Structure 1
Amino acid sequence: MHREIKFRGRSIDTKEWVYGFLYINSNDGRTFVLVDGDLTEDFTAVVVIPETIGQYIGLKDKNGKEIYEEDIFCHPNAPKYKYVVEWEDGGFSIFIEDTGFKHNYIEVIGNIHENPELISW
């Protein structure tokens, strides 16, 4: 089974989200997302805000939108509650109480960087 490994981060210059490979320069600590190719082809290195880096968890929501670490979503069985995808103990964690979680039923409604008002903690 193939698992797609990719990351997203917000560009320091444009504040737009960029998607691709993660690279951290060991000399100066700058964080990049390498987009438009792979490490063997031509790519563009975009400097990103380190705190905004999130990994793709390999699943899509009910609308086909990729789910990333630190995304906020709701579930139709508990629409008033919001949940955040987090990295914990070597894996992605999504805790939903007694809702029968299935990723193809959830809907990503934002992320903690652009929509902090969606979460109450």
Structure 2
Amino acid sequence: MREIKFRGWYGSKIGMMTPTFNGDINKIFAEKDGIYMQFTGLKDRNGVDIYGGDIALDPVKNIKGVICYDSHQARYKFVPLDLYHANAGNGGWTGLELNVNRRLPEVVGNIYENPELLIEEQ
């Protein structure tokens, strides 16, 4: 069974919180105005938990992208930056599947703490 974990971004006032809790999921949602990210159930190639909203590097294609939840296919995907910027907000992401059969990306930051990483390199 997949481990259910969340973290929350509460802006510059509090920052990123990844609370631990013993069965009471309400603790993570106690702060108002949070943006919540769910654990994908996977770890990157360095053993770091992968959450929705993480920015990662794909070692196979040598591209940077964002981990996004595809609501049309009910799964997380690695979305290259050009597609992320073109399709932001539509819920249906074109991207690469995240699974253990394919080499997983390396998490380098997230869209809230590291927005500078969202700039596409020319």
TM-score (norm 1): 0.64
Corresponding residue number in structure 2 for 1:72: 55
- Conserved? CA contact 1:10–1:48, under 8 Å: no
- Conserved? CA contact 2:9–2:112, under 8 Å: no
Corresponding residue number in structure 2 for 1:85: 67
How many correspondences in the alignment? Answer: 96
TM-score (norm 2): 0.64
Query: 1:16 corresponds to which letter in structure 2?
Result: M
Residues 8-43 of structure 1, C-alpha deviation per residue, up to 9 Å, x if partnerless?
102465223224xxxxxxxxxxxxxxx431139xx6
Offset of residue 74 of structure 1 = 0.3
Corresponding residue number in structure 1 for 2:24: 39
Any unmatched runs of 5+ in structure 1?
20-34
Query: 1:84 corresponds to which letter in structure 2?
Result: V
Distance 1:55 1:10 in 2: 12
Query: 2:48 corresponds to which letter in structure 1?
Result: K
- The structure with the largest strand share of the pair is 1
Offset of residue 85 of structure 1 = 0.7
- The structure with the largest helix share of the pair is 2
Distance 1:86 1:107 in 2: 15
Please list, as runs of the form range in 1=range in 2, the aligned pairs for 1:4-83 lying within 5 A after superposition: 4-11=3-10, 13-19=13-19, 35-39=20-24, 46-47=30-31, 49-50=33-34, 52-79=35-62, 81-83=63-65
Offset of residue 78 of structure 1 = 3.2
Output the aligned Cα RMSD.
2.6
Distance 2:16 2:116 in 1: 19
Distance 2:75 2:64 in 1: 20
